[in-house]
Structure 1
């Protein structure tokens, strides 16, 4: 079994993570320390061994799972990617040989990984990953953690952005909202670009509806970031049109070149 200090830090990590709210600073400190200890003990990176110690593997998995959730709560997506890539070995290789008992955090994290792929516009990777999950006992249609990102992807492809917005309130776990908010940021910028081309100005209320803003101050901040003119007296937003670039055409040179080319053709004939 793992050293006594590892067990002590592991139990402290669980208490810090399960507290309401989670003590993110303490979790970060303990995770850093625990990863060093696990590396020294040869338990990280996770490797498939002929006769693994089940108790050690469960501890490693719990630490990595807490690390993945901690990353999202800390809004650190690259950190989530690193934790999840290590968890994949435990979720796939060890499952097939029935070594590890199932983890209650597995499906929530698998779903978070799917919606993370959507926020990064990695649609091909999303479908490849989803297909790899099909053999699981709980299918995408039956498991809410998998069904949620599947529905979000379908609504994105349909352009049903209002349903994507509603998906925030229907998220099966709090961490999902972080990625849905990220998606909405991308969607808002796409809608804003269309508004700039389609309208000269819009009432603040209409702009808020189109951009899915429920907070007036958030709309005004977004408008200022886009360089829009906000008139609070008239309750309107004016979109600044970019002047079309004028391209100077060297007419004289083109005519001279065409005449020279014509003369060359005459000489050939």
Structure 2
């Protein structure tokens, strides 16, 4: 187990780690962790220093697993690893020394919730954090600022914020958040305007006119050009007229009135 841990740490610590090799080592480590019952009653930790060391190693591996899952874009695995890490961060916090990576991991988890538009989960997670952490921590504060921009509809701030993130690993989720923000901007454009030129639309979305990303968004949201070369949003907001079966409703009401009269 210790050799496996050293191999994983050494490989992940390289400037350009072999992601496939790391994935294989993580798979083996997960099996070993499960066989060895890597979680134990908290009251037993004070009398078993060796078990405490094993828990620290397991926590380190899970932190590597979180970053690995983000790098390979396996977001289902990311959620599983974060759920396991939270047990170490919150259930064993009085028995283990705080992890140096803890705040970065929490920041990543919050950013993922924001990027996937899970605002309720985001605020529930914030309830577990002390107020001084929210106001001072360099990994948490930028994510809170992003949430404020998102809730206030200042999507242009989100589009500009990628370069100011505290760690490079945040970039993957920032790409997701930027896409979410662009979809919100596109929805606002559709509801606020009857038509708009491609140049103006591209400026609001912070995209290149005629670029691949803009063309994909246009296709995905079914934007069409009118005779003047503008995107026509009027047709997107028009709803088909629904016929009201007035005769059927009148007959039904008369039937109810007749039945009530019989009862009275």
TM-score by length of 2: 0.82
Note the 1:136-151 alignment, pairs <5 A.
139-151=133-145
**What CA RMSD, in Å, does the superposition of the two structures yield over aligned residues?**
3.0
Cα 1:112–1:260 shift into 2, 3 Å = closer
Cα 1:46–1:187 shift into 2, 3 Å = farther
Q: Give 2:198's aligned residue.
A: 204
Aligned: 1:182 with 2:180: no
Q: Give 2:148's aligned residue.
A: 154
Partner of 2:92, secondary structure, is: helix
Q: Give 2:220's aligned residue.
A: 225
Please point out which of 232, 243, 246 is paired with 2:241.
Answer: 246
Find the aligned partners of 2:174 and 2:86 in 1 and give their Cα distance: 23
- Provide structure 2 residue ranges, at least 5 long, that are not aligned to the other structure: none
Partner of 2:128, secondary structure, is: helix
Partner deviation per Cα, 1:29-59 (whole Å, 9 max, x = no partner): 110011111222222x465333242332221
Q: How far did 1:251 drift?
A: 4.1
Cα 1:157–1:46 shift into 2, 3 Å = farther
Q: Give 1:102's aligned residue.
A: 98
- Provide structure 1 residue ranges, at least 5 long, that are not aligned to the other structure: 1-5
Answer whether contact 1:202 1:237 (CA < 8 A) is retained: yes
Please point out which of 52, 65, 74 is paired with 2:63.
Answer: 65
TM-score by length of 1: 0.81
Answer whether contact 1:220 1:230 (CA < 8 A) is retained: no
Find the aligned partners of 2:198 and 2:80 in 1 and give their Cα distance: 42
Aligned: 1:127 with 2:123: yes
Find the aligned partners of 1:101 and 1:201 in 2 and give their Cα distance: 58
Answer whether contact 2:155 2:182 (CA < 8 A) is retained: no
Please point out which of 18, 21, 26 is paired with 2:13.
Answer: 18
Q: Give 1:116's aligned residue.
A: 112
Report the number of matched residues: 258
Q: How far did 1:65 drift?
A: 0.6
